[in-house]
Amino acid sequence: MSKLTLTDIADLREYERSRVEFRNEVIALKKRRRIHVGPVVTLLFENRTTIRFQIQEMARAEKILSDEGIQTELDIYNPLIPEPGHLAATMFIELTTDAEMRDWLPKLVGIERHVVLRLGAGDGAVDVRCTVDPDHEKQLTREEVTAAVHYVHFELTPDQVEAFGAGPVTLLVDHPAYAHETPLDADNVAELLADLTG
């Protein structure tokens, strides 16, 4: 999947004219790419369209008008556009109250290194553990409390991509304080397989 450039990002007036239609398209897309794992963790698997929407919305909200400002956003978010054999996800720890944040965020330090794709089932299953972008990790991880948002990546070999397509595929978190798993449904698998195969 090609990375975004300045020419892919509409100026604010142009974007405003197409925003409602584009937003509806992205909402439908994200439904196939959002996977809940347990009570408070959700992963949104990103692609070129979801990242373009993120940058357009950021530019709109913060009134970013200069090429330099847009380029800064492109530099931040382009690493989340997967290349063939890769998946990239934004992991959200979804907490709605201060009490929940005070309870969960200290317990979940390091969770960004505990996300796994399990390909297949039984003794033949293969686990692909996520990796973390070092620049994002520096910004988001602390020793005593974690952030509510993390960026994780998965790198699969050609054999693992084939196993992903054959299924079953399970997304799991194996953090000591949070152990949950969710099987991917057919729509999830089809959507993410398109990323993996380019």
Cα(130)–Cα(152) distance, rounded to whole angstroms? 6
Q: What integer pLDDT is reported at residue 134 of this predicted model? A: 73
pLDDT in tens, 86-131: 999 999 999 999 999 999 999 999 999 999 999 999 999 999 999 9
The larger pLDDT score, comparing residue 135 to residue 83, is at 83
The phi and psi torsions of 131 (rounded to 5 degrees) equal: -120, 165
Distance of CA 107 to the CA centre of its chain: 22
Cβ neighbours of 4 (radius 10 Å): 18
Type of residue found at 1: M
Mean pLDDT of the region 37-46: 97
Answer for the pair 150, 175: CB distance below 8 angstroms, yes or no: no
Largest CA-CA distance found in the chain, in angstroms, rounded: 56
CA-based angle 75:89:150, to the nearest 5?
A: 75
pLDDT band at 1 (very low <50, low <70, confident <90, very high): low
pLDDT above 70 coverage of the chain, percent: 95
What's this model's pTM, rounded to 2 decimal places?
0.91
Provide the pLDDT confidence category of residue 139 given band limits of 50, 70 and 90.
low
Instruction: Over range 78-86, report the average pLDDT.
Output: 93
